[in-house]
A and B are shown apart, each in its own frame.
Chain A
Amino acid sequence: MEFVDNFWFQLVLKLAGILGVVLTGALVVIYAELKIGSHMQTRIGPYYAGGRWGWAQPLADGLKFLQKEDLSPTGSDRTVYGFAPYVVMMATIAVFVVVPFGPDMVGANLDLGAFYLLAISSLSVLGVLMAGWSSANKYSLIGGLRAAAQLIAYELPLVLAVVAVVIQAGTMSLNGIVDAQQQTWFTIGSFNISAPFIIQGQILGFAIFMIAAVAELSRIPFDMPIAESELTMGYLTEYSGIRFTMFFLGEYASMISLSAIAATLYLGGYAVPGVHGNIVNLLGPGVLLTKVAILVFVIIWIRWTWPRLREDQLQTLAWTWLIPLALLNIAIVSIFKVVF
């Protein structure tokens, strides 16, 4: 069994695992969005594709997109234009390198996991800006610039919310953060009570993180970059065929990745309070994916309920509410960390 320890064998295995989980997950989330959204609007949604409940609709849509001609507009910067979707997709998938699915089921247990996470997830701004600039289309340009302004504004509360978690856990490794949520919080008699950080006083941080995450995804209520009534489709306007599919899958994959991060940082990740030992390795992926599913449902639920914010309201929310609150959160967490 020496080939199991081979670096390249493990690399291929991890790569296949992550790609499988992310792409299948994205298709499942697309299907969930179609069905949940239509039922929230008292419709039925896809019904015939695949025979029952339209389960094959995302696959059929994907195949349709692949058949479409891959257009690039006159005057566009072909290289940048063609490469932009892959930058977004890559930034999304690279996040999963550090997300732990179990104590040992992790791409790489980096000591700077949280730092790597924030750095790599902000790379997608670059892809969006590339797409907006290279399309040679004013809708795309305005959409790309709006996206850049929005993603930069909401990157700050996101980072500041994570800083509070890092302070509370005392480590930047995501495995370490999950372990910290497994530690004994307090004891009642001989019972050791452990709880995820959302219960240990990070509820404000969690709210800030989720708001900023939805804004990072540029989904309703924060979808000004692709506001279809104003900008046609923003930076996606000129994309078709497989490149549009990449953006589309990327959006849903990053829903999963941001939900996985939120679940790991605030909801205890792969761990269940009170369960220890080898069994966690077995249950881990299921537990994490359940938490991810709940968060993804909330994001979909918000999309089909709330209206879009205006551009100035969006910036006001980020700069005058979320960032001061996140700083306050850091201050409170630090004080509690030092005092207790």
Chain B
Amino acid sequence: MSKNVAFPFPGLVKGMWVTLKALFKKAPVTMYPDVQEIPVPRARGVISLDVDACTVCMLCARECPDWCIYIEGHKEEQPPSKPGGKPRVRATLDRFDIDYGLCMYCGICVEVCPFDALFWSPEYEYSETDVINLLHNKERLTEWLATVPEPPALER
């Protein structure tokens, strides 16, 4: 039974040395409520929505692993672009809610959006005392749009 047991001597002492060094090092902790943490520019803080770009295709809601996106929309008739033409139909967004109480910040909705309507913003200060307030409606999601960093330059 104890044939294969290696005597763990140097390893144990090495471990003790590591923890002793850590004890006297300054802990890399940001004291958050007193000191603001500065996230990296591309941090996944909150998802913002560009309402004008959204076509109510529902791809984000369908791909969401947590089913935390709620979308409702209706079709509106638009006048024809040329006189005598056929009237066009355009999908309009009525409701776009993300429940941040459920969201796990995977970013699949941002990836999957074919019309670039969803963006990551590094903002993170939207904690609430009531869980119902974590359901952000489309107006609130649009507010985050101002905080979205500029996209990186295109590769040539």
Chain B residue nearest to A43 in the complex (CB): B27
> Once the chains are docked, how many angstroms separate the CA of A316 from the CA of B19?
27
Quote the shortest CB–CB distance from B34 to chain A (angstroms).
10
As a 0/1 sequence over residues 64 to 82 of chain A, the CB contacts with chain B under 8 angstroms (1 = contact) are 0000000000000000000
Contact B25 A306 (CB under 8 A): no
A320 on the B face (CB < 8 A) = yes
Which of A43, A305, A306 lies in contact with B29, CB distance below 8 A?
Answer: A43
| In the complex, residue of chain A having the shortest beta-carbon distance to the beta carbon of B20 | A301
Q: Does B131 contact A (CB under 8 A)?
A: no
Question: Which of A1-9, A33-41, A239-247, A255-263 has 4 or more CB atoms under 8 Å from chain B?
Answer: A33-41
Q: CB < 8 Å: which of A40, A43, A312, A320 contacts B19?
A: A40
Residues in A neighbouring B12, C-beta threshold 8 A: 305-306
Which residue in A40, A44, A316 is a CB contact (below 8 Å) of B22? A40
Q: Mark B6-32, 1 if CB is under 8 A from A, else 0.
A: 000000100110111011010111010
B26 to chain A, nearest CB (A): 9
Knowing A301-B16, A305-B16, say if A40 contacts B2 (CB, 8 Å).
Answer: no
Binary A-proximity of B54-75 (CB < 8 A = 1, otherwise 0): 0000000000000000000000
Most chain A beta-carbon contacts within 10 A, residue among B5, B16, B19, B29: B19
Please, which residues of chain A bring their CB within 8 A of the CB of B35?
none
Provide the residues of chain A in CB contact with B15, threshold 8 Å.
Answer: 305-306
In the bound assembly, the distance between CA atoms of A42 and B26 in angstroms comes to 7
Complex interface: chain B residues within 8 A of A190 (CB): none
In the bound assembly, the distance between CA atoms of A304 and B113 in angstroms comes to 46
The interface size of chain B toward A, counting residues with CB under 8 Å, comes to 16
In the complex, B153 has a CB within 8 A of chain A:
no
Flag if A304 contacts B29 (CB, 8 Å). Answer: no
Residue contact B19 to A304, C-beta cutoff 8 Å: yes
- State whether A39 touches B1 (Cβ < 8 A): no
Residues 193-220 of chain A, each 1 if its beta carbon lies under 8 Å from chain B, else 0: 0000000000000000000000000000
How big is the A interface, by class?
A: 10 to 19
Does the CB pair B5–A301 fall under 8 Å? Answer: no
Separation of A47 and B22 alpha carbons in the complex (Å): 18
Closest residue of chain A to B14 (Cβ to Cβ) is A305
Contact with A along B102-142 (1 / 0, CB 8 A): 00000000000000000000000000000000000000000
Verify if A313 is at the interface (C-beta below 8 Å from B).
yes
Q: Judging by beta carbons under 8 Å apart, are B20 and A39 in contact?
A: no
In the bound complex, what is the Cα–Cα distance between A245 and B21 (angstroms)? 32
Shortest Cβ distance from A32 into chain B, in angstroms?
12
Residues of A within 8 A of B29 (CB): 42-44
Measured in the bound complex, the distance between the Cα atoms of B30 and A43 in whole Å is 10
- A38 and B31 CA atoms in complex are apart in Å by 15
Whether B28 lies near A42 (C-beta < 8 A) is: yes
Are A301 and B2 in contact, with the CB atoms below 8 A? no
Contacts of A312 in B (CB 8 A): 1
A residues in contact with B5, CB < 8 Å: 313, 316
B25 touching A316, Cβ below 8 Å: no
Query: A277 to B42, alpha carbons, bound, how many Å?
Result: 71
Give the docked Cα–Cα distance between A39 and B28 (Å): 10
10 pairs across A/B with beta carbons < 8 Å? A38-B27, A39-B23, A39-B27, A40-B20, A44-B31, A305-B15, A305-B18, A305-B19, A313-B5, A320-B2
Q: A44-B27, A44-B31, A306-B15 are in contact. List 13 more A-B contacts (CB 8 A).
A: A36-B23, A39-B23, A40-B19, A40-B20, A40-B22, A42-B27, A43-B27, A301-B19, A301-B20, A305-B18, A305-B19, A312-B1, A313-B5
Name B residues whose Cβ lies closer than 8 Å to a Cβ of A. Answer: 1-2, 5, 12, 15-16, 18-20, 22-23, 25, 27-29, 31
Closest 7 CB pairs of A and B: A40-B19, A305-B19, A305-B15, A42-B27, A39-B23, A44-B29, A40-B23
